[in-house]
Amino acid sequence: MPPSSMDSPIRTVAPAQLSARARGVRSADGGYPECVAHRRVRPTPTFDVRVEPDGDRAVRAVVVGDLVAVTADAVFHALTEALTAGKPERIDVHLGEVRLLDTVGIGVLLAARNRATSHGITFRAYGAVGTARQALETAGVFGLLGG
């Protein structure tokens, strides 16, 4: 009795079922014709960081949009400038309007926190909701950043 397709990870595929790339077929320009049709175009991440004084010795930074690899440098720069402007005792980073947060964005928050604490400044990132909050909880840093 031949093994079923469920029993074996190897299955036989007729050559006609293979893609042009797998068969080695190239277009006139030397590329693979179906590759262009399968490319996924991602939208450019959008973000904004608003930094404003919050009382005499505190700064509030509101991050809006996507805190991801593409925007990380600019967000880190804005947060570190907020740390040095006016020598605050505390910086609060509001994440309630962050739509997307990846591991690089989490790293930015942790780096900003480390820089703040090394200068004796209290750092708190709060208000994350949805997938941003889930990313912080999954990474195990939600409480560390101040929740």
For residue 71, is it within any domain?
yes
Structural domain boundaries, residue 56 = 47-145
Q: 34-66 pLDDT, tens per residue?
A: 444 445 555 667 889 999 988 888 999 999 999
Number of domains observed in the structure of the chain: 1
Look at residue 97 and tell me whether its pLDDT is greater than 70: yes
SS3 of 98-147: the string is: EEEECHHHHHHHHHHHHHHHHCCCEEEEECCCHHHHHHHHHHCCHHHHCC
For residue 21, is it within any domain?
no
For residue 4, is it within any domain?
no
For residue 40, is it within any domain?
no
Instruction: Name the pTM for this structure.
Output: 0.69
Q: 60-89 pLDDT, tens per residue?
A: 999 999 999 999 999 999 999 988 877 899
For residue 7, is it within any domain?
no
For residue 26, is it within any domain?
no
CATH of the domain at 115: 3.30.750.24
For residue 32, is it within any domain?
no
